[in-house]
Amino acid sequence: MSNRGAVAGNINTIVFRKAAEASIGGKFLSLFPGLGYAAGYKVAQRVYKFGGQPYFRDMIDKNTGDSFRSTFGKKWGGLMMHATAGS
């Protein structure tokens, strides 16, 4: 039975490396090292999409909206302003 425990310990060390002695939660998070960055990026993306993009779209419309509409037409000018604000 001691050989079986040694094998399990080796597998634990191979899979979790530095987090082999960590709690279950620590082991889980060690499998996904970019999870914190990805969550932060997604939050920032949503904040811009729902908070910043409409603001920039209105600013573009106020300052250069006529230029967009005269260049692309009424329908496509509005779409291009949305695309510009989104980029």
- CA distances for 20 relative to 6, 33, 35, angstroms: 13, 15, 19
Please check whether residues 79 and 39 belong to one and the same domain: yes
**Domain encompassing residue 78:** 34-87
Dig out the tokens for 26 from the structure.
Answer: 């620590």
Please check whether residues 24 and 40 belong to one and the same domain: no
Q: What angle do CA 45, 47, 50 make, to 5 degrees?
A: 105
Please check whether residues 46 and 74 belong to one and the same domain: yes
Give the chain's domain count. Answer: 2
Please check whether residues 38 and 21 belong to one and the same domain: no
Tens of pLDDT along the chain (87 residues)? Answer: 456 656 666 787 888 777 777 788 878 878 888 888 898 999 998 988 888 888 999 999 999 999 999 999 999 999 999 999 988
Please check whether residues 77 and 57 belong to one and the same domain: yes
Please check whether residues 40 and 82 belong to one and the same domain: yes
Rounded to an integer, what distance in angstroms lies between the CA atom of residue 27 and that of residue 50? 35
The pTM assigned to this predicted structure is: 0.52
Rounded to an integer, what distance in angstroms lies between the CA atom of residue 27 and that of residue 12? 10
